[in-house]
Amino acid sequence: MSNSRRGLTARQPLGPRRGRADLKHLQAMTEAEIRRTSPPELANLPRGFWKNGKLVKSAARPPRKG
């Protein structure tokens, strides 16, 4: 009999790296999951809240030294 714990725990996602979102994970989420995991302050936004939103791209950062 083996004491190995391999396969007993689910693999946890590593999360975003260097400020990038895990798009595959986000695209796989259902609307219900998004609502359930959203912060409370976002729960009751008006229906047209994002209607006039504009995408703003950040300036490119210089490469890290070191």
Q: How many CB atoms lie within 10 A of CB 49?
A: 10
d(CA 41, CA 46): 12
3-state secondary structure the chain: CCCCCCCCCCCCCCCCCCCCCCHHHHHHCCHHHHHHHCCHHHCCCCCCCCCCCCCCCCCCCCCCCC
Please give the structure tokens belonging to residue 39: 């912060």
- Map tokens 């490119």 to a residue: 60
Q: What is the per-residue pLDDT across 13-65, written as a single tens digit (0 to 9) for each?
A: 665 566 677 888 888 999 899 888 888 888 888 889 989 999 888 787 777 77
